[in-house]
Amino acid sequence: MKALALAIAAMSLGASSTIAAPLACDLPEVKYMGDLQSVLSRRAVEVVNRAANLRGGTDVRLQQLVAPSADFSLGDGDVGRPLGQGVSGARALAMEMKADTFRYLGWNYIPTPVKDPCASQKVDVEFTDTRGKNVYPVTFTFRAGRVVAAEGWSRTFEAGPVEPVGN
């Protein structure tokens, strides 16, 4: 009976539709949250680097890192702006930010065991356009090690030296 119900459901999808199998999680084995946060943060930076350097054609690794339905957005002030989905959304994010540096914070807490690294995870990475004096804090959401969303905001900044302590 169950097999018949599955067959009917498959036929109702139509001949041109396919059922996509879930992608395998390709994350390295990690035991603690700090390691997982570091791996995913580096992966987020890799996505932005690859998307920024994409010059026509395709980048197979970028396609592996970004889900086709991944939503990318970048807000400014109090208005969020959708940038697109999948690799083209990642490319729009990278081109909009024009980042030349990145920063993410380490996990300086109690070593917390990871139950399921392939479950939904979030990391925050800050990208900086030094010349334009803009900083972009971006929250990346991963599932099975792939980016499924990235939401950021554009902020201006000022930087300068600080007098050393003890002089």
Token pair for 133 = 């004096």
How much is the pLDDT for 96?
97
Residues 61-97 have pLDDT tens digits of: 999 999 999 999 999 988 999 999 999 999 999 999 9
**25: DSSP letter:** P
Enumerate residues 6+ apart whose C-beta is below 8 A from 80.
Answer: 73, 74, 151
> What are residue 79's phi and psi, to 5 degrees?
-120, 120
pTM reported for the whole predicted model: 0.84
Token pair for 127 = 């990208």
Residue/partner pairs of 20-23 with CB below 8 Å, 24 or more apart: 22/144, 23/144, 23/146
Does the pLDDT at position 14 exceed 50? Answer: no
Q: For the chain, list the domains and their CATH numbers.
A: 27-156 (3.10.450.50)
Q: Rounded to an integer, what distance in angstroms lies between the CA atom of residue 111 and that of residue 105?
A: 15
Enumerate residues 6+ apart whose C-beta is below 8 A from 54.
Answer: 62, 87, 91
